[in-house]
Amino acid sequence: MSIIDGKTILLTGGTGTFGKAFTEYIFKNHQPKKLIIFSRDEFKQYEMERRFPLEKYSIRYFVGDIRDKDRLYRAFNGVDYVIHAAALKQVPACEYNPFEAVRTNILGAQNIIDAAIDRGVKKVIAISTDKAVNPINLYGGTKMVMEKLMIAGNYYVGGKSTLFSAVRYGNVVGSRGSVIPFFIKIKKEGKKKLPVTDKRMTRFWIPIGDGVKLVMNALEESVGGETFIPQIPSMKITDLAKAIIPNCEIEEIGIRPGEKLHETLISEEEGEKTYKMTKNEQDLFIILPHFSDLNGRYEKYLNLFEMPKDFSYTSSNNEEWLTVEQINNMIGNHI
């Protein structure tokens, strides 16, 4: 029996790429009491309900915004676990609408913390991004603050028992907003030239199924305060271009504002408290918080392999790289 069998799970931002994959995985492999999809787009919920109808699945759809604390209090009633995926994610949109990004990504996270504690939620797993590490754009900055709020929530609970942890991963293959659909569109137009911002650019890449597995592993293992990170491969942006259009011409157009040449999942400062484990055939890094151990809860990790004090994990210093052929196999369903 798994941790979520017979339990009620609520997923914020549940109509997105992750939400759909998580929902499919849950009902294929587990028997939850109920899964609640919480999001603010009623049309996306309508589309999702056609795929996961109420008559067949133990699922409910709540229209609501994480900015609305009252709505969260209502939705969290009777919920065991919350997976927090809702966010404003588009870097240019966040730069142009900074106050909106703060209201959703930061104040919305605070609302989730308050509602989860007061409604007796057992665990909250917040989904973050590599852009939260040493952020250079507003989106990354808000996600960094979101992570800090969630981890600090373990002190904020007082006498309550809610646990807060986070997961952090890189670009999702074929997700909305990734470069893959853009490159594919150019290919379908019959063009042979692909624009890249910088030929030196590298990125972490993860299939959405591995993202779901990461969240499940975090849900099972977390004791509150950890950040879970998958060990995933890197790729060169030029190899991605070649995988989509072989022998393509690459046009270098320059890095956009707020864009990094390489991405970081673990900074050197975090590497000092990072451990490594394998869970359900997935290799994980676990960053423990820098505040003191809460009643010895982190002792379970101390027997794991501890990373060197100067350890960092970036898309450029990664030991595992995707070849053009491997990238092609990964994106085959999207072309």
Give one DSSP letter per residue of 288-318, joined into a string: PPSSPPSTTGGGGGTTSEEPPTT--EESSS-
Single pTM value for the model: 0.94
Assess contact for 13 and 19: CB atoms under 8 A: yes
Instruction: Give the per-residue pLDDT at 72.
Output: 98
Which residues are CB-contacts of 98 (< 8 A; sequence separation ≥ 6)?
A: 138
Span 120-149, pLDDT tens digits: 999 999 999 999 999 999 999 999 999 999
Instruction: Quickly tell me which residue has 């969240």 as its tokens.
Output: 215
Q: Residue 128: beta bridge partners?
A: 168
Instruction: Give the per-residue pLDDT at 176.
Output: 64
The two structure tokens encoding residue 285: 């890094």
Instruction: Give the per-residue pLDDT at 182.
Output: 85
Span 163-209, pLDDT tens digits: 999 999 988 876 666 788 888 889 899 888 999 999 999 999 999 99
- CA 253, CA 256: separation in Å to the nearest integer? 9
- CA 219, CA 125: separation in Å to the nearest integer? 7
Q: Domain spans of the chain?
A: 8-170+207-231+264-310
Instruction: Give the per-residue pLDDT at 172.
Output: 86
Q: Which of 20, 131, 143, 273 is catalytic?
A: 131
* Helical residues (DSSP H) of the chain, grouped into ranges: 17-29, 42-51, 69-75, 91-96, 98-101, 108-118, 138-156, 179-188, 208-221, 237-244, 268-271, 324-330
Instruction: Give the per-residue pLDDT at 292.
Output: 67
- CA 105, CA 148: separation in Å to the nearest integer? 12
Class of domain 8-170+207-231+264-310: alpha beta
Collapsing DSSP to helix, strand or coil, 73 comes out as: helix
Give one DSSP letter per residue of 165-226, joined into a string: EEEEE-EETT-TTSHHHHHHHHHHTT--EEEES-TT-EEEEE-HHHHHHHHHHHHHH--SS-
Assess contact for 229 and 313: CB atoms under 8 A: yes
Instruction: Give the per-residue pLDDT at 13.
Output: 96
Instruction: Give the per-residue pLDDT at 8.
Output: 98
- CA 131, CA 32: separation in Å to the nearest integer? 32
What does R_g of the chain's alpha carbons equal in angstroms? 20
Read off φ and ψ for residue 194, nearest 5 degrees: -120, 130
Instruction: Give the per-residue pLDDT at 180.
Output: 83
pLDDT-flagged residues of the chain (< 70) = 174-177, 292, 294-295, 333-335
Q: Residue 165: beta bridge partners?
A: 125
Strands 193-196 and 163-169: unpaired
Q: Is 33 a catalytic residue?
A: no
